[in-house]
Every structure is written in C-alpha cells, then in structure tokens.
C-alpha cells in the first residue's frame, strides 16, 4: 500500500552502470549506541542468508546500506545501525518514536520510491525492502538488476510469503505471525554482525506484546481496518499485520473471510458488515484519497451509505499510523494502540 570512504574500483563500476541506465524521474526499540559489530567483529564472513528464494552473500558487515520501505528502515534504526546506512526511501509516516536521533544520521533519498540512479549513487553494499513490489518492475528495480550490479538485496520474509491475489497487495495462504517479523530482525542483525542487539530487540518486542494484551479479551467485537482510499477503500483481509493485531486482542476482523492482504471493496460491503469498531490508518503521505484519519472520519460521517453504521454513530474509532498496519516491528505498536482503544471503548473485557 502503498513506495564515507568509497573504493575507487567500485565507484568506477557504479558510475559506468549509471551511464548505461535509462533516465528515471521521479519502546523495546531504543537503539544500541554506535554501529560497530558485536564482539566477534567481522568473524564469520563471508556470510550467506537464504532469503525469499535468493542467496544473499555478504563479504563483510554492510557499511553503506540503503533501506527501502519504512518497516525495513525502522528495524535497522532500532538495531542502532544509522551510521552504517547510506539512505532510506518509501515512507508513509513519521519515524517511530525513539528512533529520531538514529534516523537523523541517514539521508532520506525520497519519501516515495527513489530513482535507481539515486540509490546506486550511494554505492550501497546492501539494499533492504519490506515489499516485493519495491524490488520489482514499477518499484525501484528488480532484485536481479541489483544482483547484476553486484549489490546484494534483502526482502522481508513477511512479504515474500505472499502470492499474487485478485485484489489489493496479494494474498496469503497462511496467517502472518510475529515470529516472521522476529525472524526478519534476527536476519538483519546477523547480516550486520549485531546478533546480540537483535535478540535484545526481539525480547523487548515480546515483552511489549505480553504487556499490551494482558487481561484483554475483545471476543465478539467486530473490527474493520481501513488503510486508504475514499472511493473504494483498502480494508484488511484476514492474514496480514491487522490479523496479528485482531487475534492478539481476541476480536474478529470484519473481512476475515478474504485472504487478500488489502482487498479493495465497495462502501455497501462495508456497511453490510457494520463493524463495531473501525481502525483508521492515519497516514501522512499523499498517494491516495483520505490518507489522514481526519479525512477518513469526515468521509464516514458524511456519506449516506456509512454514516448510520454502528461504529460511525458511536464514533468508535482507533487511529493507527500506516506503518503499524504493515508487517514490521510497528505491528507491536498496533497491538498496543488497538488494545488500549478497545479498553477505552469498554469493548475489551479484562479477564483474570
């Protein structure tokens, strides 16, 4: 849903590659100080990871990584790797709280997809992304393109597990779990040689999940997640990050019957489901209509098809950053905010 020291031989190779390319226009998370590897240093390299059907080989810990998509970026920042990143791109929201200082160390190449030439100009020794579309035609560039230029890439396992779907951002044959997100954290920590930080980050996220859901039971409460678009809204299907959130609080997803990640539906279908609560993506980007929560609420309360819905009449809204509605470490924030919102609405019975 969606976007130093340099070696002379590598610089020359990338400069040549640029001349051949067509012109493109275009918290449990407090990071560890410093970006040096763990005690083992560069021992254990070259290091190879199996990632989404590709082998990713690193000759040494990356020093000039470029992260594409906010979820991938925030994992690296939470691992304290800001000074080993050369750039970021494709944002939907402000950076996660607690990561502002680390994020300030890194150049933002673009709010959306940066041009391939701009990425290559940073001489990256690793490119990471959260979404397969980012590393494909229509995104920044296919993984094969980067591989041909000698740049290793890493794609979030949460996205490569999906298959093409009839609607939205693809479909899932299996429900996403936080274990996949924790696996991505561990992969990236291993890639950079900071495994101890990775384990500490995962432990912090697990603790936050446990605290947020302690005593919460929203059984019988129907929730709908609206990411963007006022004409034909993108709502959450069963099995992505909103599914993780919904199961964690014991609620029911109004569109649990579809495995499409973000199916685009009509407002009549939304009104027919008549959810008890609507979780609204509060985005700062401007790619779609009704990006902000304020615009979404105005739409819901003025449209004759939706203004009589239960959640709208009772103003039962929970606001989430868009990043918390995608598979990432921000999904934990989504659990925290939805659990808190349901408590405030007296729809999450506290159990003993």
In DSSP notation, 273-333 reads H--SEEEEE-----SSSS-SHHHHHHHHHH-TTTTTSHHHHTT-EEEE-GGGGSSSTHHHH
Q: Which residues contact 262 (CB under 8 A, 6 or more apart)?
A: 1, 167, 168, 169, 227, 234, 235, 236, 237, 240
In a domain, 136, yes or no: yes
Number of domains in the chain: 2
Let me know whether 188 and 244 are in one domain.
no
pLDDT in tens, 67-76: 999 999 999 9
Distance CA 308, CA 266 (A): 16
pLDDT band at 17 (very low <50, low <70, confident <90, very high): very low
Which one of 205, 240, 267 terminates a domain?
A: 205
CATH number at residue 180: 3.40.50.1980
Distance CA 116, CA 42 (A): 29
The range of the structural domain enclosing residue 162 comes to 49-205
Let me know whether 195 and 57 are in one domain.
yes
In a domain, 188, yes or no: yes
Distance CA 314, CA 48 (A): 53
Which one of 173, 205, 237 terminates a domain?
A: 205
- Residue identified by tokens 């302690």 is 214
In a domain, 162, yes or no: yes
Let me know whether 220 and 195 are in one domain.
no
Q: Which two tokens stand for residue 21?
A: 């390319």
In a domain, 309, yes or no: yes
- pTM for this entry: 0.86
pLDDT band at 210 (very low <50, low <70, confident <90, very high): very high
- Residue identified by tokens 């909103």 is 242
CA within 13 Å, CB half, 197: 28
In a domain, 42, yes or no: no
Let me know whether 160 and 241 are in one domain.
no
pLDDT in tens, 159-208: 987 766 444 478 998 999 999 999 999 999 999 999 999 999 999 999 99
Let me know whether 230 and 321 are in one domain.
yes
Let me know whether 167 and 223 are in one domain.
no
pLDDT at residue 116 tops 50: yes
Strands 252-253 and 216-217: unpaired
Let me know whether 153 and 184 are in one domain.
yes
């Amino acid at each position: 849903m969606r976007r130093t020291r340099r070696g002379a031989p590598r610089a020359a190779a990338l400069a040549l590659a640029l001349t051949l390319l067509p012109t493109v226009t275009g918290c449990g998370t407090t990071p560890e100080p410093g970006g040096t590897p763990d005690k083992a240093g560069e021992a254990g390299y070259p290091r190879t990871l199996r990632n989404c059907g590709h082998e990713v080989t690193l000759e040494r810990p990356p020093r000039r990584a470029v992260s594409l998509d906010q979820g991938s970026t925030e994992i690296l920042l939470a691992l304290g790797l800001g000074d080993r990143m050369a750039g970021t791109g494709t944002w939907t929201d402000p950076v996660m709280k607690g990561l502002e200082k680390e994020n300030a160390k890194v150049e933002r190449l673009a709010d959306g997809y940066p041009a391939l030439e701009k990425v290559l100009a940073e001489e990256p020794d690793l490119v990471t992304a959260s979404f397969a579309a980012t590393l494909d035609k229509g995104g920044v560039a296919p993984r094969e393109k980067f591989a041909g230029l000698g740049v290793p890439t890493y794609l979030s396992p949460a996205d490569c597990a999906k298959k093409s779907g009839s609607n939205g951002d693809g479909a899932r044959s299996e429900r996403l779990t936080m274990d996949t997100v924790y696996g991505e954290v561990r992969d990236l920590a291993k890639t950079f040689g900071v495994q101890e930080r990775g384990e500490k980050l995962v432990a912090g996220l697990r603790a936050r999940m446990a605290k947020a859901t302690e005593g919460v039971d929203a059984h019988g409460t129907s929730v709908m997640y609206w990411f963007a678009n006022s004409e034909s809204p993108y709502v959450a299907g069963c099995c992505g990050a909103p599914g993780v959130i919904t199961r964690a609080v014991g609620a029911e997803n109004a569109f649990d019957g579809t495995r499409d990640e973000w199916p685009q539906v009509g407002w009549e279908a939304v009104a027919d489901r008549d959810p008890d609560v609507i979780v609204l993506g509060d985005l700062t980007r401007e790619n779609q209509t009704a990006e902000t929560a304020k615009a979404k609420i105005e739409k819901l309360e003025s449209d004759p098809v939706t203004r009589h819905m239960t959640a709208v009449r009772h103003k039962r809204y929970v606001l989430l950053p868009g990043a918390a509605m995608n598979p990432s470490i921000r999904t934990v924030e989504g659990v925290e905010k939805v659990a808190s919102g349901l408590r405030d609405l007296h729809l999450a019975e506290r159990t003993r």
